[in-house]
């Protein structure tokens, strides 16, 4: 391609400092180096993680930075040693990766690659630690190895999933983070059986995806737990059959659920990051066979406390990272679920804005007014 091997000038939404609106800047994007791919981003979306690191509350501030990690695009060029991708491929960049060589990648049970596991503090590329973005000769930090709030980005090839070229990028772009995190937590880790009951703690995008997984699994009862009653009506679209607002009860919510279900739910999935909700999700599953899955990320100083008898009574507690999906191996299959009409992505997408209005997407997410807002990079 004519741009291969050359710097590309394009627009990017740059976060210059914490909490300040992103600024549209002309940036230079360097050619991909060893094991790297340069991607033309067609559609991206804002995840709650983008907002958290933009606000830099509780995270290590790293500015200027190009955020963004849910996206769909087309490979523009590839660097040395890339053999499984080529220009023109339709791809999803992923915030975590699959090197294919480490023990985790060789394991059928793990997706936590030693080389490419999520690293929120890294501002450069793994190959040389340098940034591929600059403006006026000054480098701009990467984010999660993806930085999709740019018309072009450079990503390690191990963090790029090649997908069906017929899949609409404005829909399947959401598969690259929150959707798969929740969906896989249910389908791959909780594994409810047809006819069983599932409780979902937190009805944001990840929780709704977990509920979608329970619906696909054939769960008979899907109980949504959230402090915001405005979320309950929308959650019905994702298969949620009953709702519990902990604020409306004078007893612990786990006790409420145990009484609702004659001893507890068969499975629960926690998607809030609240350690209190994690304990509730574990203690509300049925003794003997109940399984609770933790998805939300707690604060650094949080501690999980429960009585050991809850384990001895044969309740199981598990954790889930990115839905236990291997990015390159498994994510193309999630896209195929959508193409085969087994998975409905449209109901997750509540807003669409042009790239020039990306700050509106941040506003929608910050105020909890959207599930997912798609940003059209070409509009």
User: Catalytic residues, which ones?
Assistant: 47-49, 69-70, 99, 102, 105, 113, 117, 177, 372
Please tell me the distance from the alpha carbon of residue 210 to that of residue 204, in angstroms, as a whole number.
10
Dihedral sign, Cα of residue 32, residue 35, residue 41, residue 47: negative
* Cα–Cα distance for residue pair 164/150, rounded to 1 Å: 23
Distances (CA, A) of 149 to 180, 198, 342, 365: 20, 36, 30, 15
The alpha-helical segments, DSSP class H, found in 275-350 are 275-283, 309-312, 327-339
* Per-residue tokens: 341: 């009409």
Strand 8-14 relative to strand 316-319, pairing:
unpaired
- CA 218 from chain centre, in angstroms, equals 23
Residue 331 · residue 159 · CB < 8 Å = no
Burial 90-120 (b: 16+ CB within 10 A, else e): bbbbbbbbbbbebebbeeeeebbbebbbbee
Closest CA to 80 of 119, 32, 45: 32
Beta partners for residue 138, in sequence order? 135
């Amino acid at each position: 391609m004519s741009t291969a091997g050359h710097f590309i000038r394009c627009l990017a939404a740059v976060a210059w400092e914490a909490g300040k609106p992103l600024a549209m800047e002309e940036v230079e994007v360097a050619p991909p180096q060893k094991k790297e791919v340069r991607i033309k981003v067609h559609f991206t979306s804002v995840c709650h993680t983008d907002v958290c690191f933009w606000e830099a509350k509780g995270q290590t501030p790293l500015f200027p930075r190009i955020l963004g990690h849910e996206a769909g695009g087309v490979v523009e060029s590839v660097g040395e040693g890339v053999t499984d991708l080529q220009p023109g491929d339709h791809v999803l960049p992923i915030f975590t990766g699959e090197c294919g060589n480490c023990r985790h990648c060789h394991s059928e049970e793990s997706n936590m690659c030693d080389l490419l596991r999520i690293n929120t503090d890294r501002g450069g590329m793994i190959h040389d630690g340098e940034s591929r973005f600059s403006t006026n000769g000054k480098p701009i930090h990467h984010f999660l190895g993806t930085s999709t709030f740019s018309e072009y980005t450079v990503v390690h090839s191990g963090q790029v999933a090649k997908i069906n070229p017929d899949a609409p990028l404005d829909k399947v772009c959401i598969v690259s983070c929150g959707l798969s995190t929740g969906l896989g937590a249910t389908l791959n880790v909780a594994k409810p059986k047809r006819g069983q009951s599932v409780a979902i703690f937190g009805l944001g995008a990840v929780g709704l995806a977990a509920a979608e997984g329970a619906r696909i699994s054939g769960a008979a009862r899907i109980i949504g737990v959230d402090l915001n009653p405005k979320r309950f009506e929308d959650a019905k679209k994702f298969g949620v059959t009953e709702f519990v607002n902990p604020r409306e009860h004078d007893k612990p919510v786990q006790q409420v659920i145990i009484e609702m279900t004659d001893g507890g739910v068969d499975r629960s999935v926690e998607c809030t990051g609240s350690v209190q909700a994690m304990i509730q999700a574990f203690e509300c599953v049925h003794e003997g066979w109940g399984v609770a899955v933790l998805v939300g990320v707690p604060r650094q100083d949080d501690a999980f406390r429960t009585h050991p008898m809850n384990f001895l009574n044969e309740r199981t507690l598990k954790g889930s990272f990115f839905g236990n999906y291997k990015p390159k191996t498994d994510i193309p299959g999630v896209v195929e679920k959508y193409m085969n009409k087994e998975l409905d992505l449209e109901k997750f997408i509540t807003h669409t804005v042009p790239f020039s209005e990306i700050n509106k997407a941040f506003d929608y997410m910050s105020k909890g007014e959207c599930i997912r807002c798609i940003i059209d990079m070409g509009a």
